[in-house]
């Protein structure tokens, strides 16, 4: 047994009870303590050299006190009872409403709801084995073609122990493990330089590398860069777009995921406000957010408010069935939490966030989807994206794409963004494949906080999307 699997609580239950009672001492109706102890190891290789191995430790507590519509928040890296009580008092003062008196908080047994099965905890693995992965990736990428002029590779693992307790009696704990490898490649040719990128990340331990081939990953990234050396400028204007399975979940993340977060809906800052029960997408589309999805990058045992993760259907056969909820928004609207209250660290307030967001299988053979497309763009790899949830306008980058001509995938295209409007694009999905796959690990940013998320979809076609290239 490694030290990561200890069941010793981060802070004793009687201390938590006193800290929560202090939080409510100025009349607030809700107090919460969130404790985090995170250890991480990362290693970076660039230009053929292992540049640096980094070890990190982040440990502390965030205390939230809610009084009416006002939230007070304070955090501390001092986990002694004295440190926690001081932070609790600061949060209570911040949310002060007057009143108060002696409050007693009682916590029961700790809830655990593990969704991942860690076989090899990364903190028990020699650092030399982690560094070795980078050297293998470097060698494999460089072996692909003499046009490869530069390779960088990064390894990262983290073990994040969290404990959440609140004055409603919730006491939950989770150990969250993440392991990741990424490879970036530069190739050079007559037309200048091009880049390739791929990554692999799961909420499992070092067994990740028994189940996946590092060389294969590096070779994919290298081939992507080499292929793009002969790429022509991407087209401009609107046309049909086919997105390969497991590469375009970010489309749904941006086109509607953020817009279904109840905090944005609650402030009427989402184009999906007031649309519950309405047809918001093609009837082909069933959209799920699932924090329980074993080993996937957005999988969590509990969310950062102590609520067990769960599988939520957001869109069923094109009809909007629910938004995603956190504690405060659910409380305000008389709804139940959906396990989507997440935060970057103990230094941050929780808010509504996605976990693993994906569209389930349709019926089409993916090859038929391409064959059925006379002229358009085939996207094999998407980059990041960004959305304005209020207007619904969103962009996402294509990092590996090809022309489709007369039902066949032909020439590679240079990088560009695509732009669309969420509700319009969802309705424009006219073919959905039967080849579902999850995509690369992602980091989702909102209001200055980053959290790990997953996404996925089968191969699909959007009837019309605007490609932001330079060719006429």
Say whether residue 73 binds other proteins (CB under 8 A): yes
The reply on whether position 377 binds other proteins by CB under 8 A is no
Tokens of 332: 């305000």
Tokens of 362: 């349709």
For other proteins, the closer of residues 173 and 467 by Cβ is 467
The answer to whether residue 147 forms part of the interface with other proteins (CB under 8 A) is: no
453 CB contacts (<8 Å, ≥6 apart)? Answer: 253, 297, 298, 353, 354, 355, 356, 357, 442, 443, 444
User: Would you say 168 or 195 has its CB closer to other proteins?
Assistant: 195
Beta-strand pair 148-166/171-189: antiparallel
Shortest CA distance to 287 belongs to which of 323, 341, 263, 262? Answer: 323
Decide whether 292 or 440 has the Cβ nearer to other proteins.
440
3-class secondary structure, 123: helix
Question: Measured in whole angstroms, how far is the alpha carbon of residue 393 from the centre of its chain?
Answer: 20
In whole angstroms, the minimum distance from the beta carbon of 101 to other proteins comes to: 22
| Contact pick of 5, 6, 14, 70 for other proteins (by CB under 8 A) | 70
Among 9, 27, 114, 384, binds other proteins (CB under 8 A): 384
Q: Which of 11, 74, 162, 204 binds other proteins (CB under 8 A)?
A: 74
230 contacts other proteins (rule: CB under 8 A): no
Q: Interface residues for other proteins in 35-54 (CB under 8 A)?
A: 43, 45-54
* Residue 264 to residue 251: CA distance in whole angstroms: 19
Contact between 118 and 177 under an 8 Å Cβ cutoff? The reply is: yes
Per the document, the length of the chain is 472
For residues 52 and 48, what is the distance between their CA atoms, to the nearest angstrom? 12
CA distance 299 to 292: 5
* Cα–Cα distance measured from residue 244 to residue 427, given in angstroms and rounded to the nearest whole number: 19
Q: Is 15 in the site for other proteins (CB under 8 A)?
A: no
Interface stretch with other proteins, choices 4-12, 91-99, 104-112, 300-308 (CB under 8 A): 91-99
Segment contacting other proteins (CB under 8 A): 19-27, 233-241, 329-337, 371-379? 233-241
Which range, of 200-208, 229-237, 298-306, 358-366, touches other proteins by CB under 8 A? 229-237
Pairwise CA distance, residues 72 & 115, whole Å: 32
A 10 A CB-CB count for 38 gives 17
Map the footprint of other proteins across residues 282-311, applying CB under 8 A: none
The nearer residue to other proteins, 249 or 469, going by C-beta atoms, is 469
- Tell which one of 15, 27, 58, 360 touches other proteins (CB under 8 A): 58
Pick one of 113, 161, 223, 228: the residue that binds other proteins (CB under 8 A): 228
Q: How far is CA 43 from CA 53, 54, 312, 458, in A?
A: 4, 6, 36, 33
Examine residue 83 and tell whether it contacts other proteins (CB under 8 A).
Answer: no
Site residues for other proteins, window 191-210 (CB under 8 A)?
192-195
Q: 399-414 burial string, b = 16+ CB within 10 Å, else e?
A: bbbbbbeeeebeebbb
What part of residues 405-464 is at the interface with other proteins (CB under 8 A)?
414-421, 423
Answer for which of 19, 162, 288, 349 binds other proteins (CB under 8 A) is 349
Check residue 322 for interaction with other proteins (CB under 8 A).
Answer: no
C-beta of 108: minimal distance to other proteins in Å? 29
Among 240, 350, 385, 412, binds other proteins (CB under 8 A): 385
């Amino acid at each position: 047994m490694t030290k990561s699997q200890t069941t010793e609580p981060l802070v004793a239950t009687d201390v938590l009870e006193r800290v929560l009672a202090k939080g409510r001492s100025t009349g607030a109706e809700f107090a919460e303590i969130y404790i985090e102890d995170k250890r991480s190891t990362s290693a970076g290789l660039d230009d053929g050299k292992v540049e640096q191995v980094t070890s990190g430790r982040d440990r502390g507590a965030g205390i939230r006190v809610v009084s009416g519509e006002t939230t007070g928040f304070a955090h501390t890296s001092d986990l002694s009872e004295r440190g926690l009580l001081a932070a609790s008092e600061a949060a209570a003062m911040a949310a002060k409403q007057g009143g108060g008196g002696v409050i007693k908080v009682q916590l029961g047994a700790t809830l655990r709801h593990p969704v991942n099965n860690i076989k090899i905890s990364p903190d028990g693995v020699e650092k030399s084995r982690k560094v070795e992965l980078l050297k293998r990736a470097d060698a494999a990428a460089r072996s692909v073609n003499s046009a490869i002029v530069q390779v960088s590779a990064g390894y990262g693992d983290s073990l994040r122990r969290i404990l959440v307790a609140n004055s409603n009696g919730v006491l939950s704990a989770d150990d969250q493990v993440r392991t990741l490898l990424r490879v970036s490649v530069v190739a050079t040719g007559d037309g200048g330089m091009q880049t390739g990128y791929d990554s692999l990340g799961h909420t499992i331990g070092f067994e990740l590398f028994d189940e996946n081939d590092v060389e294969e990953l590096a070779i994919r990234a290298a081939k992507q860069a080499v292929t793009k050396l002969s790429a022509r400028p991407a087209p401009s204007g609107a046309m049909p777009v086919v997105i390969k399975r497991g590469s375009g979940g970010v489309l749904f993340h941006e086109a509607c995921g953020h817009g279904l977060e109840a905090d944005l809906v609650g402030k009427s800052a989402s184009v999906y406000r007031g649309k519950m029960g309405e047809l918001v997408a093609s009837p082909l589309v069933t959209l799920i957010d699932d924090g329980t999805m074993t080993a996937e990058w957005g999988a969590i045992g509990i969310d950062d408010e102590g609520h067990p993760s769960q599988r939520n259907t957001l869109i069923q056969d094109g009809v909007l069935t629910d938004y995603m909820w956190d504690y405060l928004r659910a409380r305000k609207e008389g709804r139940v939490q959906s396990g989507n209250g997440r935060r970057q660290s103990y230094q941050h307030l929780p808010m509504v966030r996605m976990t693993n967001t994906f569209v389930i299988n349709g019926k089409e053979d993916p090859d038929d989807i391409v064959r059925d497309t006379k002229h358009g763009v085939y996207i094999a790899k998407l980059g990041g994206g960004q959305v304005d949830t209020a207007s619904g306008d969103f962009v996402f980058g294509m990092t590996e794409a090809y022309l489709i001509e007369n039902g066949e995938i032909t020439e590679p295209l240079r990088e560009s963004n695509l732009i669309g409007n969420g509700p319009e694009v969802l309705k424009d999905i006219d073919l959905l494949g039967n080849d579902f796959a999850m995509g690369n690990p992602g980091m989702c940013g909102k209001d200055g906080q980053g959290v790990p998320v997953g996404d996925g979809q089968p191969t699909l076609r959007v009837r019309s999307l605007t490609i932001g290239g330079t060719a006429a």
